[in-house]
Amino acid sequence: GASTADVPRPLVGSVPYGGAGIFDCVTPGTVAFTFDDGPYLYTEDVLDKFKRYNAKATFFITGNNLGKGPIDSTPAWSKVIKSAFTRYKSIKLTVIDFDVDTAGYLNTDVSRIQKSKDIWDSTIAAADPATSNFLEIEHDIHYQIAYNLTDHILDSMYSRGFRSVTVGECLGDPPANWYRPGN
Mean pLDDT of 70-81: 42
DSSP 8: -
pLDDT at 97 over 80: yes
pLDDT > 70? residue 103: yes
pLDDT tens readout for residues 135-182: 999 999 999 999 999 999 999 999 999 999 999 999 998 888 877 666
Question: What are the sequence ranges of the domains in the chain?
Answer: 18-175
Q: Identify which of 121, 116, 179, 122 has the alpha carbon closest to the alpha carbon of residue 149.
A: 116
pLDDT in tens, 53-65: 999 998 887 655 4
pLDDT tens per residue, range 11-27: 888 877 777 778 889 99
Question: Please, what CATH class does the domain formed by 18-175 belong to?
Answer: alpha beta
Is residue 78 exposed (0-12), middle (13-18) or buried (19+ Cβ within 10 Å)? exposed
Task: Quote the pLDDT of residue 179.
Answer: 72
What does the pLDDT read at residue 81? 53
Cβ within 8 Å of residue 164, ≥6 positions away: 30, 31, 32, 33, 50, 53, 55, 56, 57, 154, 157, 158
Tell me what pLDDT residue 23 has. Answer: 86
Beta strands, E only, the chain? 18-22, 30-38, 58-61, 94-96, 100-101, 134-138, 163-165
Amino acid at site 32: A
Give the pLDDT confidence score for residue 48 in this predicted structure.
94
HSE on the CB side for 48, CA within 13 Å?
7
Sequence-ordered list of residues with C-beta below 8 angstroms from that of 159, at least 6 positions apart, any chain: none
Average pLDDT over residues 21-38: 90
Residue 72 has pLDDT above 50, yes or no: no
